[in-house]
Amino acid sequence: MTVPAAASFRRIGVFGGAFDPPHLGHHALAVTAIAQLQLDALHIIPTGHAWHKSRTLSDASHRMAMAELAFADLPQVVVDGRELARPGPTYTVDTLLELQQENPGAQLYLLIGEDQAHALPGWSRWERLPALAIICVAARADSTGAKGQFDALKAQVPGLTVLNMPPVDTSATDIRHRATTDQSLVPLVFETVARYIDQHHLY
């Protein structure tokens, strides 16, 4: 099948994470990336088997549903469940390879937080990532990474770029703690997500 010329210039963002739950910081990153990178589509990809996390994640169906609620106002967003359907540990490199095959000629943009950027050399086959996508890093308000370490990472990763957004001091860990102590979640998540958490007795 011949790929239309316009398709070869599609710009597709890839934003993976536990999204347990998705919060306003995730949404702010998505909005910034869509505008700054002029994305045609942004795949929000909830993690399947999180090999790097010690805690058990909420059920996949809940994380998919919350992501759909959290990003419902962004028409470019596709909530993509491919990693949830993949057996065993899920790795970003495999997801990028799949998306590259599905979208020949498109430019992929991998969105990660600064904490993830510092951990990048520990990712499976991380050396392949720059050939598959432009890696875009968003700073976190609570990041403790030294500037020198980040500059060293930029030297290792071709094409690494920084998303120009103010850090958002929001964490899923804090939200889950609030939920267990009956505190309001609305300052940190959308009301629809807070209502879903309450209705399904998550956390």
Q: How far is CA 15 from CA 48, 56, 148, 198, in A?
A: 14, 20, 25, 26
pLDDT digits (tens, 9 = 90+) for 114-141: 888 888 888 999 999 999 999 999 875 5
CA–CA separation, 163 and 36 (whole Å): 7
Say whether pLDDT at 152 is over 80: no
**Whole-number pLDDT of residue 88:** 84
Q: What is the pTM of this model?
A: 0.88
Domains by residue range for the chain, with CATH? 5-174 (3.40.50.620)
Q: What average pLDDT does the segment 100-119 reach? A: 91
Strands of 8-160, DSSP E: 11-17, 41-46, 77-79, 107-113, 134-138
Tokens describing residue 29:
């990153």
CA–CA separation, 26 and 182 (whole Å): 23
